[in-house]
Amino acid sequence: MKVPVVDLSHCSLCEGCLEVCPSVFRLNDARYIEVVELTSYPEIEINEAIKYCPEDCICWEEV
């Protein structure tokens, strides 16, 4: 299955992914972007988030 992954070392916390795809990305208590655990991920919305991430730090990973 494909899951989205955020490279936190490049994330600038612009919160764009939270706006584009709030069902998948969230800001945790430590103020890092986290990927919510889901049984399947909405590909279209996540591809939008990937496209708009200014740091290019979201990608798909095969697990």
Q: Can you give the binding site for ligand SF4, defined by CB under 6 A?
A: 6, 11-17, 33, 53-55, 57-58
For 8, 11, 17, 40, the CA distances from 14, given in Å and listed in that order, are 12, 8, 8, 25
Find out whether 50 and 59 touch, Cβ atoms under 8 Å: yes
Q: Is 6 or 46 the residue whose CB approaches ligand SF4 more closely?
A: 6
Write out the two tokens for 27.
């800001």
Q: How far is the CB of 14 from ligand SF4 (least distance, A)?
A: 4
Q: How far is the CB of 10 from ligand SF4 (least distance, A)?
A: 7
Q: How far is the CB of 62 from ligand SF4 (least distance, A)?
A: 19
